[in-house]
């Protein structure tokens, strides 16, 4: 009797113990609880990008900035309150991250389709994928099952997200801290094939750095005055040639020393990542394939699962 009990009980106990501790995300997580999830999200993303092409890049960036602070948990979406300090006003995010209203609109639509089921963290992951696809980039099967954080970390946002003046060592270190390799970093940097940056983030590069094409620097300076405080929020495209198309042109720009940010050009600056940039500049299919895989990997950073966190009713506030 005792031996029978041992044989049946202990595997079950181990399953309960380790199964909960290592709950996995899956691509079919909502297949029965919210079967129309994907068809509900994409039209909202499509509508937002149709109104403003730049929005696709903004949503993709939201996902990056969320995942790099305590994992992909929707913490970036939380508004500050009198008793709570979130991540929106951290240095990398203040007057910079945008698209929160689009996430709100998606959440409203999803709540109508299946109330209280889908997390804001998962909505953000799906919207990032849809943004890339709508702008002509690769698709991938988004892994789901994340739950939403009930807290956030301004210090994490200030420390974890690599800045536009970062050198290659700093970039490598920041990505490594998230479990992402240097190869992943170069691949994910390709997100800068879309979107725009503020003058304040690239002023030093276009006026002070030497590893920049002179005509490119000159043309960019026309909309970004040298004096700090003047035109700080003026925008320039990260990839001026195909601004709203997700392609491999970013890497071609780097080879021509036309990276807008100092951190961009660091990836092709007589260093260890030059060869990968060269590969992507001539092999768009390789870049697309690698980008999809790297986005899945980034989406796996420290998700809240099982009984952790919550499913927020409103992405901006804890229930």
Q: Which residues have a catalytic role annotated?
A: 65
Tokens (6 digits) for 113? 């389709």
With 0-12 / 13-18 / 19 or more C-beta atoms within 10 angstroms meaning exposed / middle / buried, residue 50 is: exposed
Q: Is 71 annotated as a binding residue?
A: yes
H-type alpha helices, the chain:
2-21, 37-51, 55-67, 100-113, 120-134, 154-160, 168-176, 182-189, 199-208, 214-221, 249-255, 262-265, 274-282, 284-299
Q: Is 247 annotated as a binding residue?
A: yes
Q: Is 75 annotated as a binding residue?
A: yes
Put residue 136 in one of left, alpha, beta given phi > 0 → left and psi -120 to 50 → alpha. left
Q: Is 209 annotated as a binding residue?
A: no
Q: Is 162 annotated as a binding residue?
A: yes
- Rg of the Cα trace of the chain? 21
72 with 146: CB under 8 angstroms?
yes
Q: Is 266 annotated as a binding residue?
A: no
Tokens (6 digits) for 241? 């040639």
Q: Is 242 annotated as a binding residue?
A: yes
The whole-angstrom distance between residue 22's C-alpha and the CA centroid of its chain comes to 23
Tokens (6 digits) for 256? 């021509």
**Under 8 Å CB-to-CB from 242, ≥6 apart: which residues?**
193, 249
Give the residue from 96, 99, 87 showing the smallest Cα distance to 123.
99
What is the CA angle 294-241-142, rounded to 5? 25
* Tokens 């040298």 -> residue: 226
Q: In angstroms, rounded to a whole number, what is the distance separating the alpha carbons of residues 204 and 176? A: 26
Count of alpha carbons within 13 angstroms of residue 292, beta-carbon side: 14
What is the SS3 assignment for 246? Answer: coil
Q: In angstroms, rounded to a whole number, what is the distance separating the alpha carbons of residues 120 and 133? A: 20
- Where is the binding site for Ca(2+), in residues? 66, 69, 71, 73, 75, 87, 193, 239, 242, 247
- Where is the binding site for substrate, in residues? 162
- Where is the binding site for heme b, in residues? 192
């Amino acid at each position: 009797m005792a031996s029978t009990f041992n044989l049946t009980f202990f595997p079950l106990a181990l399953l309960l113990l380790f199964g909960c501790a290592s709950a996995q995300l899956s691509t079919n997580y909502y297949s029965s609880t919210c079967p129309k999830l994907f068809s509900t999200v994409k039209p909202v993303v499509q509508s937002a990008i149709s109104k403003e092409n730049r929005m696709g890049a903004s949503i993709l960036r939201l996902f990056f900035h969320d995942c790099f602070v305590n994992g992909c948990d929707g913490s970036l979406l939380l508004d500050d309150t009198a008793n709570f300090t979130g991540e929106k006003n951290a240095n990398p995010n203040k007057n910079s991250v945008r698209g929160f209203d689009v996430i709100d609109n998606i959440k409203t639509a999803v709540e109508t389709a299946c109330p209280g089921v889908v997390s804001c963290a998962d909505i953000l992951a799906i919207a990032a994928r849809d943004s890339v696809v709508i702008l002509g980039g690769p698709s991938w099967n988004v892994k789901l099952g994340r739950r939403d954080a009930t807290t956030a970390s301004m210090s994490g946002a200030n420390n974890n997200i690599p800045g536009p003046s970062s050198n290659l060592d700093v970039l490598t270190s920041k990505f490594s801290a998230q479990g992402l390799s240097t190869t992943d970093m170069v691949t994910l940097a390709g997100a800068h094939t879309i979107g725009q940056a503020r003058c304040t983030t690239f002023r030093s590069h276009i006026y002070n750095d030497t590893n920049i094409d002179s005509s490119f620097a000159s043309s960019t300076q026309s909309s970004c005055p040298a004096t700090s405080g003047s035109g700080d929020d003026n925008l320039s495209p990260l990839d001026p040639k195909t601004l709203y198309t997700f392609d491999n042109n970013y890497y071609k720009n780097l080879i021509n020393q036309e990276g807008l940010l100092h951190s961009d050009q660091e990836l092709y600056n007589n260093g260890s990542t030059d060869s990968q940039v060269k590969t992507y500049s001539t092999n768009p299919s390789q870049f697309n394939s690698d980008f999809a895989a790297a986005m899945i990997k980034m989406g796996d950073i420290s998700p809240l699962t099982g009984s952790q966190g919550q499913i927020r009713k409103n992405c901006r506030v804890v229930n």
